[in-house]
Structure 1
Amino acid sequence: MTLGLSPDDLLVLLAVGRTGRFNTAADDLGLNHTTISRRISSLEKCLGGRVLVRSSGGWELTDLGRQALSAAERIEAAVNELALDSTGQQQLDGVVRVSATDGFSAYIAAPAGAAVRRRHPRVSVEIVVATRKASQIRSGLDIEVVVGKPQVHRAEAVHLADYALGLYASREYLRQNAVPENAEDLAEHSLVYFIDSMLQVDELDLARKLTVSMREAVTSTNVFVHIEATRAGAGIGLLPCFMAEQHDDLIRVLPAHIEVRLSYWLVARSESLRRPEVAAVVTALRETVDRKRSQLLGSPGTNEALSPESNDAGR
């Protein structure tokens, strides 16, 4: 080991390298920002170079920093080997922060987090809801789940699952309005979907183009608002099938004409994925996705549309 190099300084670098922020690392380690800064400065003096550089979204590791972080991971692993439970298994501990869309957060990330807690009671899972492109700087996050294949820098992107969007309307709405028989008929209806000017995800924006003839009704940045507005009869919603089909009062409209296939991707720093507690969350996410794969793709026959003869429009 380099003369004067402190293992504690390396573990501080490990915390900063994983979160990209001094404040977050300080909270995780029970230190203050000044101590974190002093430890990093001491480490850089010992190593003779910069281990971190400031970027627009936080702190990034230099090449020297990544070498030092590898050494820090070996120190952490050695310490963790001493923390075994009564069965001789390693006790995982720590906080894992996951960012995902609202639908994925509720139906996939939440049950996955519960599974992690059952297996590893000392691991906390924090779920941050966001519908956006993958961040180039994942400061303060361990895992991101985004829609569409991301272009990322110094991170790994892994395909999790495909899912489907379809058109849905409430039973009452279809009784009061003409049931669409083809895509051209959609021009007579209003759409419940995202706010166009605030949509940051290209794939979700492309999905809107399939319903370009429809005027907007109730729009929101939150897919749960889409669901409830559609159930309330605001219009026809372009909804994730795995969410819409949780509600018996929603009917699939034009399943043979309108369906959008999108994909969920998991993004994380390599150093984050090497953390046992992060790996445990990734495993739980994969297991939950596998268990719900058929729901994600939807079942056109689950909610059968009303026939035109059964609606009350014009009465």
Structure 2
Amino acid sequence: MQDIDWSDFQVFLALAQSGRTGDAANLLGVDATTVSRRLKRLETGLAVALFERGRDGHQLTEAGEELLEQVSTMARAAAKIRDGAEAGEGLSGTLRISVSEGFGSWFLARHIPDLADAHPALTIDLVASSGFLNPSRREADIAVMLSRPRSGQLIARKLSDYALSLYATQDYLDRAGTPQRSEDLITGHRLIGYVPELVYAPELVYLDEIHPGLRATLRSSSINAQHRLIARGAGLGVLPRFIGDADPALVPLLPQRSILRSFWIVTHADTNSLARVRAGTEWLIDVVAKHRSVLLSR
């Protein structure tokens, strides 16, 4: 067996977790050619094929599965060493938190400076977008998701429920009338909501819960854009209460038709015990517990 560069195992681990050369390259901060070259060097050194290449990416062979178990153990051991160094010197490195656009911009953004103040040497990435980074592929250290993941080496726990309601401006209601029942929304009102083909989680499908068959005719993939449309009097739509109740221009409607959803906090099993991940997780749980009334409201 040829001598093996131990850093090649990091390439193997990244590819095993992401499944695609380009994704592994992004995780490692190198180009895809480097990933392919170093994987080939590792396979040559071990004299085994670690992946089967297919249309859907790289799938582990039996030898790859066995190596993954060993390399994951090595990664956890390295994480513990880093953890000990962090504990002695204070938290450092980068903590990447992936959250939905609305939760990130309307809730976490106002509280996350407290985490930064507590750990000044820590770089914090708050990725608030229409979609989530994947903890399984190490795209994020912590993800706050709308449902519990069903696969992957992940640790998940329920963070909190949150409530949503239907909102409009008083100006819109003066023009179009105030709906008293969900049936009143069928005609005479413009509904604002998501673009159906671009909904990244089934938990974001709301209108059928207000009344079966309702359809938005003014649509956006962005909850912040939807809020601005509603606030401009363009129509009525469903918003999380931590957004809708924070805007004094909006009037909540049909309280009997409120909607409940949940946030889940998700980390990877291999990095969950890292000091910075543990600190971020504990901070998230604490800040949500202190401000749960904002998420549920009324």
TM-score w.r.t. the length of structure 1 is 0.75
| Residues 98, 132 of structure 2: 8 Å contact kept | no
Counterpart of 2:250? 250
Q: Please state if 1:78 is matched with 2:78.
A: no
Kindly tell me: are residues 116 and 35 of structure 1, through their superposed partners in 2, closer, same or farther at Cα, counting changes over 3 Å? farther
Instruction: Give 1:47 shift.
Output: 6.7
Q: Provide the residue aligned with 1:224 in structure 2.
A: 224
Classify 1:142/1:218 alpha carbon distance in 2 versus 1 (closer, same or farther; 3 Å): same
Contact 1:50-1:65 within 8 A present in 2 as well = no
Q: Helix, strand or coil for the counterpart of 1:230?
A: helix
| Mapped partners of 2:170, 2:120: distance in 1 | 44
Instruction: Provide the rounded CA distance (Å) in 1 between the counterparts of 2:52 and 2:116.
Output: 35
Q: Show CA shifts across 1:221-242 (max 9, x none).
A: 1111111111111111211111
Q: Closer, same or farther in 2 for the Cα pair 1:173/1:206, shift >3 Å?
A: closer
Tell me the residue number matched to 1:309: none
Counterpart of 2:71 in structure 1 is: 68
The one of 24, 27, 36 aligned to 2:26: 24
Tell me what 1:286 maps to: 285
Counterpart residue number, 2:92 = 93
Task: Note the 1:1-315 alignment, pairs <5 A.
Answer: 21-27=23-29, 56=56, 62-78=65-81, 81-82=84-85, 89-111=88-110, 113-132=112-131, 138=137, 140-187=139-186, 188-212=188-212, 214-255=214-255, 257-299=256-298
- Looking at structure 1, the residues matched to 81 and 105 of structure 2 have their Cα atoms a distance apart, in angstroms, of 36
* Amino acid in the other structure paired with 2:240: P
Q: What's the CA shift for 1:37?
A: 5.9
- Kindly provide the CA deviation profile for residues 8-32 of structure 1, in whole angstroms up to 9, marking residues without a partner as x: 55666667677774423433xxx77
Gaps of 5+ in 2: none
**Cα distance in structure 2, aligned partners of 1:120 and 1:24:** 26
Letter in 1 for 2:220: S
Q: For residue 250 of structure 1, report the CA deviation from its aligned partner.
A: 0.7
CA distance in 1, matches of 2:114, 2:158: 21
Query: In the TM superposition, what whole-angstrom CA distance separates every residue of 1:189-232 from its partner, at most 9, and x where no partner exists?
Result: 22111122322322222543423465534211111111111111
CA-CA distance at 1:58 after TM superposition? 7.2
Deviations along 1:155-211, one digit per CA (max 9) or x if unpaired, are 233211111110111122223332222222222322111122322322222543423
In 2: Cα distance, 1:203 partner to 1:132 partner: 12
Equivalent residues of 1:134, 1:150 under 8 A apart: no
> In 2 relative to 1, CA 186–297 (structure 1 residues): closer, same or farther, beyond 3 Å?
same
Distance 2:79 2:164 in 1: 44
Mean Cα deviation higher: 36-45 or 194-203: 36-45
In 2, distance between residues paired with 1:178 and 1:185? 9
Structure-1 separation of matches of 2:215 and 2:28: 50
Computed over aligned residues only, the root mean square deviation of the Cα atoms, in angstroms, reads 3.6
Q: SS where residue 153 of structure 2 aligns?
A: coil
Do the aligned partners of residues 246 and 82 (structure 1) sit closer, same or farther apart at CA in structure 2, a change above 3 Å counting?
A: closer
Work out the CA distance in 2 between the residues paired with 1:13 and 1:52: 9
Distance 2:141 2:86 in 1: 23
Aligned residues: 290
Q: Tell me by how many angstroms 1:135 deviates.
A: 5.3
1: CA distance between counterparts of 2:249 and 2:70? 57
Percentage of matched positions with identical amino acids: 26
In the alignment, the residues of structure 2 paired with residue 278 and residue 51 of structure 1 have an alpha-carbon distance, to the nearest angstrom, of 30
Shift of 1:258: 1.0
Structure 1's 54 and 120: CA in aligned 2 closer, same or farther, altered over 3 A? farther
In structure 2, what residue type is equivalent to 1:199? Answer: V
CA 1:76 to 1:23, structure 2 compared with 1: closer, same or farther past 3 Å?
same
Aligned-residue offset at 1:149: 3.5
Code of the residue aligned with 1:153 in structure 2: it is G
Q: Are the counterparts in 2 of residues 133 and 147 from structure 1 also a CA contact under 8 Å?
A: no
Contact 1:169/1:235 (<8 A) preserved: yes
The worse-fitting range, judged by mean Cα deviation, of 95-104 and 228-237 is: 95-104
CA distance in 2, matches of 1:74, 1:252: 52
CA distance in 2, matches of 1:197, 1:33: 31
Q: 1:66 to 1:122 in 2, by over 3 A?
A: farther
